[in-house]
Structures are given as C-alpha cells and as structure tokens.
Chain A
Amino acid sequence: MGIRTKLSGNEAVSVAFKQINPDVVAAYPITPSTEVPQFFSTYAANGEVETEFVPVESEHSAMSACIGAQAAGGRSMTATSAQGLALMWEMLYIASAYRLPINMAVINRALSGPINIHCDHSDSMGARDSGWLQIYSEDCQEAYDNFIQAVRISEHPDVMLPAMTCFDGFITSHKVENLELMEDAEVQKFVGKYKPPYHLMDKEKPMSMGPLSLPFHYFESKRQQAEAMRGSIKAILEVAAEFEKVTGRKYGLFEEYQMADAEVAIVILNSTAGTAKDVVDELRAKGVKAGLLKIRVFRPFPVEQIVAALAKCKAVAVLDRADSVNAAGGPVFTDVTSAMFGRVDGVKVINYIYGLGGRDVKTDDIKVVYNELLEVVKTGKVKEVYNYLGVREV
C-alpha cells in the first residue's frame, strides 16, 4: 500500500534516499539541492539509516567519495545543483568510465554567470555527454519515482552506468505536493541488495581500477561504454514495467500528451511540461489538434521512439531551458532534429530557448509557441528556427 502524504521535491527525494538506505552518501550543500543531504543527515544522525554520511569539503570530493565507495562495492548517492555539478565535472567522467552505478539527484539550477540560483537546465545539459543516464521529472512524485527506478536501472547488469535524476530547482524542489510514497519494505524489495560483479574489497577476485588505458585500449573501453548507454533503453523499460506492477504508476521513455492525432506539438522536459499541458487542454477545447511530448529519458536519447512519436505532426517546437550558445540551437533541439534527419522528412521543427535563470514561464508564453506552430502549418514557412521565449526584445 502506498503512503499518501505531502512533501516538497527535495523532501520526497531525501525520503527515497532513506528508504533505499545506501552504504554511503557523500555530499556538499548547494542551493537549491541543499535540503536533500540536509534532511538525510538528520536521518543518519537519528539512526534511521545505516548509511555512512560523509560531509565532504566540496562537490569534487563528494563525487570522488562516491566513486571510492562504489568501487569498494558499496551503493553510494549524492545530490547537487549548478556550480556543484560543474565542480564534479572531471569525476563524472571517471564514474561513468569505471562503470560505477552511482545515483545523483540533480536539482536543476542555472550555471553562473551572471550568478543566479534559480532554475534552468544548463547544469545537467552541460553534463549530457558525461556518460551518465539522465532522467527528468515533471513534479515531486516523478522525482521520487524516478530516483528509485534510477537505482535499479543504473545497477542493471547490462547497464552499470551512473544516473542523474533531474528536477527543477525551487519549482519542484521547494513546492509541496500531494504524493504517494512506497512503503519502506516495498522500496527495499524493489531496489534489492546491491551486488556488484566485482569490487576492490573482494579478496576472492582481486582487481584494480583506474589503470592507464593507452591508445591500444581506451577506444575499446569507450566503445563498450557507448553500447551500455544504448542498451540501457531496454533496462529502463523493464524497470518501469516492474515499478508499475508495484505502484500502479506508469513510466516510459517519454510521456505523450494528446499526441495520437496532434498536428502541432511541443517537446519539453521537467516542470514546464505541466504548464504546457494546461495550454494543450485549452487548445483542444477549441478544436486545435495540439499535443505535447515530455521527455523523461534524455540520456540515453530514445532516437527511434521519439521520431515515431513526432512523425505524424506537421510542425514541432522543441523548448530548451538551456542555451547551447552555439549559433545552432539548444541541446534538446539539436538532438531531436538530428534524430529526425533522414528518418522523417517534412515535419517543420523550430526551437525556443525559455526560462533561463528562473525566468517565469506562463501559459501565455506557451500559447505564443503553439500560435507560431499554427502559423507555420498555415503558411508552410518557418520564419526563424532558433528563437527566444519571454526575453525582452526592446
């Protein structure tokens, strides 16, 4: 039986940490993720978990401690945001290359500068090619559910890659929402005991990690890592099916909202999907065939599945809460369009950068996007591919 309660996103995820009861949590506080290790440190101090809680001196150390713990055969977790994730940078690649299934909550916040503490996705989008799985969450319930599933996905024998569960700073992290938790015993049963295939403390099977991998071997290691990422789609769906059996809550690689007959659609991730769904409802009431595709799994990028979901649309807008500052478009846009290239032709795809540094995104902003899509369908012409939403032009 689920437990009905009301929690903020950070509280919900710290409860997930507690219910998983990992071997090690190493973390350093940074807004807006601070509450996750803060609440967890209380659970540790109260003896509610058996976890070794390590309050380290930086995020670089937090990730390093997680890598050490996981390499020693433990299950380790952490949480961070923005600059904290940036400071972990070099260690992110070590974690994924060593195939250590560390789990991290990334509470999305704009990367400085200018200095800003509010939501956008520049932090996790910057880490999109670090070899970590990335799962995005619209609300507190999804953040909780995704974090628990991510543990199973990352530790799957065919995957063995670290995972980030991402949700929007302040918007999701600090809002209190009605949600349903799993029972402690249910979570324990779902995640099971972590059984690494090898670890540094195994005296029956001694090994060493981190050798110099020269030009004879490095390429093969990276190729193998890429294959694990590609193959993880199967594991993600398997875990989601099992999760649905336990909780009744259904997850896929993405959510399709009114997509069956949609002519115009928005591709988006995290909390703004909720705002955009309201607009879809409003447009549907007026007879407009509007739809929405909310990406849940961004790494691995579900190329075939996303292409199939968008193939029947006439015009699509991809909304990015991070700008790649590359003169080409945001990270989600460039991935969606390169997925579609050569697979589906004739769908007009445009990009909007929105909500940077916590800029509010209202239903009126989303309506601007759908209106532009309808204009594209009507005229058959795209005025501008790479657009900005909600920025002062004059």
Chain B
Amino acid sequence: MNAGKGVKLVSWKEITHGSHVFEAGNAKNFKTGDWRSNKPVFIKENCKQCLLCFPVCPDSAIMLDENTQVTGFDYDFCKGCMCCQEACNFKAIEREDV
C-alpha cells in the first residue's frame, strides 16, 4: 500500500486531531487503483462509443474526453471489477491479469 502520488505525509505534530478531515473532495487524493485485481484494456478500434460502459463503473474510472468519447481507464481508481466488460457488446474491453 502507498499513500498515493503527491500526498504529503505529515508528522504527529501536524496531523489533525483524530485524523479529522477539514477539506472537501479529497477522496481523489487517495489512489485506490493499486487494489486492482484485473486490468481492463480499452480496444479503441472496436469501440462504437455507445457509452453503455460508463454508467456501470462504480468508481468513475472510465475516462471521457470533452466530446464525451471514451478514451480509456483511470488506473488510479479502477479496481478491475470488469463490470464495463460485461456491459460492452463490441469486444472493446479486454481483461488482462494484473
């Protein structure tokens, strides 16, 4: 396990009381992708941009560009549950071992 890229580890003198959190939206700082047990791989040439994969991802780990086109996976957060592969009808997502 690692604390995540860019996360500054503070000393006991600086840490908040009881690890209280005073900052909103900080879950993005804690990279949970290293728990991943499978790795989904995006096959761009097969993808029809139907976007059926996007809503099934429990962790918002499917990345879209400004035109809402799928561009791949955010491996900082993808846990490898492979729900996206189940949802895909065009063999645009393949599973690899981690």
Contacts and interface: CB of A to CB of B under 8 A. Distances in A.
B96 to A, nearest CB: 28
B18 A216 contact: no
Interface stretch (B20-28, B53-61, B81-89): B20-28
B10 interface: yes
A46 interface: no
Contacts of A198: 17, 20, 22
B13 interface: yes
A381 interface: no
B52 interface: no
B19 A217 contact: yes
Contact of A97 (B1, B18, B22): B18
A216 B3 contact: yes
A344 B7 CA distance: 46
Given A214-B1, A216-B3, A224 B15 contact: yes
A221 B18 contact: yes
B35 to A, nearest CB: 12
Interface in B8-55: 9-13, 15, 17-22, 24
Contacts of B17: 98-99, 160, 198, 221, 224
A208 B21 contact: yes
Given A160-B17, A215-B1, A220 B10 contact: yes
B15 A205 contact: no
Most chain B beta-carbon neighbours within 10 Å: one of A216, A219, A223, A225:
A216
Nearest to A200: B20
Contacts of B18: 97-99, 209-210, 221, 225
B32 to A, nearest CB: 11
A216 B20 contact: no
A312 B15 CA distance: 42
A223 B12 contact: yes
A213 interface: yes
Contact of B11 (A208, A210, A220): A220
A207 B1 CA distance: 26
A208 B20 contact: yes
Given A217-B19, A227-B12, A206 B1 contact: no
A211 B19 CA distance: 7
Contacts of B9: 216
Contacts of B15: 217, 220-221, 224
A213 B16 CA distance: 11
B23 to A, nearest CB: 9
7 contacts: A198-B17, A207-B21, A209-B18, A209-B20, A209-B21, A214-B1, A221-B18
Given A216-B3, A221-B17, 8 more contacts: A98-B18, A206-B22, A209-B20, A209-B21, A213-B19, A216-B7, A217-B19, A224-B15
In the complex, the 3 A-B pairs of residues with the closest C-beta atoms, listed nearest first = A223-B12, A99-B17, A213-B19
